[in-house]
Amino acid sequence: MVDSPREAFGKTLVELAREDARIVALDADLASSTRMVYFAEEFPERFFQLGIAEQNMVGVAAGMALAGKIPFAGSFAVFTSRRAADQVAISVAHAGLNVKLVGAYPGIVSGNNGATHQAMEDIAIMRGIPHMVVLDPADDIEMAGAVRAAVAYNGPVYLRSTRDAWPRVCPEDYKFEIGKALRVRDGKDLTLIGCGMMTSQCALAADLLAKEGISARVVNMATLKPIDMNAIVSAARETGAIVTAENHNIYGGLGGAVAEVLVEHAPVPMKRIGILDCYGECGRNPDLLAKYKMSVADIVAAAKEVLQRKK
Amino acid sequence: MSSLTQSELQQLQDTARCIRGHIVRTISHAGVGHPGGSLSATDILTTLYFHVMNVDPKNPNMPERDRFVLSKGHGAVGLYSTLAERGFFPAEQLKSFGCIDSILQVHPDMHLLPGVEISTGALGQGISVAVGLALAGKLDKAPWRVYCVVGDGESQEGQVWEAAESAAQFGLDNLTVILDNNGVQLMGKTDEVMRMEPQVDKWRAFNWNVIDVDGHDIAALAAAFDLAQTVKGKPTVLVARTVKGKGVSFMEGKSAWHGKSPDAEQLAQALQELGCEA
């Protein structure tokens, strides 16, 4: 059975906490949503409820890291990134502390909560903060690996945790590494680079393209920072065109990061799929993806457009 | 009521005077820095570093040390002058304050200066870190305590009160906050910029053990810190009545001296009033 990324987050955190007593969890009254509640049930003495006060939660996490703990501080992505941005930058990142920040329900597919709860800019905020590692795992398998890698890595990490289960893209035996992209599918005509739940949409788009005789490589770029430059450059050199797809504003996220690498190392035709610099609304996930031009059909159309430009 | 002998008190008062001398000399030399809020906190820092806290300048990272957080990070020169006087680094180095490559940044940097637990300057953030330290200390049943100086202007930040509610919720009796209640901030009197009084009532309402104290009476401060250690199940705040620019007549109570450097003539007068060498 495919778990949602948040489910995998909650379960993996408990597994790791059984092995490592330094792990503590901090919540801002959303543990049932983030699935940190599993940790709270098994390790009540290491779980800290900070109430609806995200700025303080991030600062308290910094203090606990200073004293040798490995704190996971979780809230919705809008609050972890926007509300607590200065605390993340100064108390955590400038301080270089070993805090793991969890941004749950990121992007437009945020559990039908509407615009106030849709983080369009969390990747951009976190990427802009020096030393921050930024992760957007695609599925439950990758989330389990990402949580493990975050604990093994000594430093600040921002981890996006998607609410719902989307089609799985990672193999069962996949070993996640920070900074290393996963080639989900091989192809020679162009490359679809996705992150988070959008990688699954890229894989579905590649299926449709294949039916039309177009061979699309699919790369899953779960680490937004430090980004896997080699995977991007080789995709450009070997397939000659790139489409990015992200559950985030097209400014400052995956598309921007890939474009930065391409213009400096291997410019090729490229198009970005993502939130087109706007705020969202309520709705079912498929309706949101369709209305905001992030559907499989939009990825297919973008692929054809860059192929046209490649000629 | 004080745990200090008369000669200990005299010694601490002398130390505070030396530290005030370092403060005005350092800021005058650098042409940058915050004299008002450094001078208002001097007696608090002196009492902490020379009487209350378990610290070792030769071993600034010793695990059992008490932790200090200067949440009002712009009071950096006050902290540096105290650390220098306590032997963490040579006082001569105060001359590098604010210069490129200096370990003495205008706001304290934990990566550069041994003895600084956490970088501060973004107001409201230090107290949350102090709460986190105290929480971790509780979890580990550690013997050390956490001390955190907050400014009254700083307490306009909502995060201070988020931190306050959480410290009380977790019963952090290993945490002592000292509110440097000097009543003045950059743009004027705190009461006029954004009134925060009554501070004693506010902290009490947030379920803290509150001690109202003269922040320039070292004997009273020492007694208050002693008392804080005996209180169980609650964090303690010393609401310290202080004077911005304390000890230098033309700086006292003046918002103009929040972040201004004295010229040579003003420095000479300041040192004379303080009873320090030029």
Query: pLDDT tens across A269-298, in order?
Result: 999 999 999 999 999 999 999 999 999 999
Nearest CB neighbour to B128, from listed A45, A56, A69:
A56
Cβ contacts of B125 on chain A, cutoff 8 Å? 59, 86-87, 90-91
Contact B47/A at CB under 8 A: no
Residues in chain A, how many?
Answer: 311
Contact B135/A at CB under 8 A: yes
- Residue B89 is classified by DSSP as S
Query: pLDDT tens across B20-36, in order?
Result: 999 999 999 999 999 99
State residue A255's pLDDT score: 98
Look at residue A265 and tell me whether its pLDDT is greater than 60: yes
Domains of chain B: 6-274 (3.40.50.970)
Domains of chain A: 5-161 (3.40.50.970), 182-310 (3.40.50.920)
Check residue B73 and give left, alpha or beta (phi > 0: left; psi -120 to 50: alpha).
alpha
Query: pLDDT tens across B119-174, in order?
Result: 999 999 999 999 999 999 999 999 999 999 999 999 999 999 999 999 999 999 99
Q: Of B267, B271, B277, B275, which Cα lies nearest the Cα of B27?
A: B267
- Under 8 Å CB pairs connecting chains A and B tally to 97
Nearest CB neighbour to B125, from listed A24, A50, A91:
A91
> Is the CB of B135 less than 8 angstroms away from the CB of A60?
yes
Contact B256/A at CB under 8 A: no
Tell me how close the Cα of B104 comes to any Cα of chain A, in angstroms. Answer: 16
Sign for the CA dihedral angle at A61, B238, B61, A21 comes to negative
Q: Which two tokens stand for residue B270?
A: 């300041």
State residue A311's pLDDT score: 83
Whole-number Å distance between alpha carbons of B35 and A37:
48
State residue B2's pLDDT score: 57
Cβ contacts of B142 on chain A, cutoff 8 Å? 67
Chain B interface, mutation test: which of A24, A70, A83, A91, most B Cβ atoms within 10 Å? Answer: A91
Task: For residues B175-204, give the mean pLDDT.
Answer: 98
Query: pLDDT tens across A195-234, in order?
Result: 999 999 999 999 999 999 999 999 999 999 999 999 999 9
- Tell me whether the omega of the peptide bond preceding residue B198 falls within 30 degrees of 0, making it cis: yes
* Three-state DSSP state, A196: coil
Nearest CB neighbour to B166, from listed A56, A90, A96:
A56
- Residue A119 is classified by DSSP as -
Residues forming a β-bridge with B127: none
Sign for the CA dihedral angle at B247, B251, B255, B261 comes to negative
> Is the CB of B118 less than 8 angstroms away from the CB of A63?
yes
State residue A192's pLDDT score: 98
> Is the CB of B166 less than 8 angstroms away from the CB of A86?
no
* Three-state DSSP state, A189: coil
> Is the CB of A66 less than 8 angstroms away from the CB of B129?
yes
Q: Which two tokens stand for residue A1?
A: 């059975």
Chain A interface, mutation test: which of B69, B111, B117, B128, most A Cβ atoms within 10 Å? Answer: B128
Whole-number Å distance between alpha carbons of A75 and A54:
8
Whole-number Å distance between alpha carbons of A36 and A62:
18
Instruction: Please give the single-letter amino acid code of residue B34.
Output: H
Tokens 């788009």 belong to: A205
DSSP secondary structure letters along B102-119:
-S--SS--TTTSTT--S-
State residue A58's pLDDT score: 98
Residues of A at the B interface (Cβ-Cβ below 8 Å)? 24, 45-46, 48, 50-51, 53, 55-56, 58-69, 71, 86-87, 90-91, 94-96
Cβ contacts of A60 on chain B, cutoff 8 Å? 128-129, 131-132, 135, 163, 166
**Contact criterion met (CB below 8 Å) for B66 and B54:** yes
**Contact criterion met (CB below 8 Å) for A243 and A302:** yes
Query: pLDDT tens across B221-265, in order?
Result: 999 999 999 999 999 999 999 999 999 999 999 999 999 999 999
State residue B43's pLDDT score: 98
Whole-number Å distance between alpha carbons of B180 and B237:
10
Residues forming a β-bridge with B241: B181, B214
> Is the CB of B136 less than 8 angstroms away from the CB of A56?
no
Whole-number Å distance between alpha carbons of A275 and B229:
54
**Contact criterion met (CB below 8 Å) for B154 and B72:** yes
Tell me how close the Cα of A142 comes to any Cα of chain B, in angstroms. Answer: 30
* Three-state DSSP state, A129: coil
Look at residue B80 and tell me whether its pLDDT is greater than 80: yes
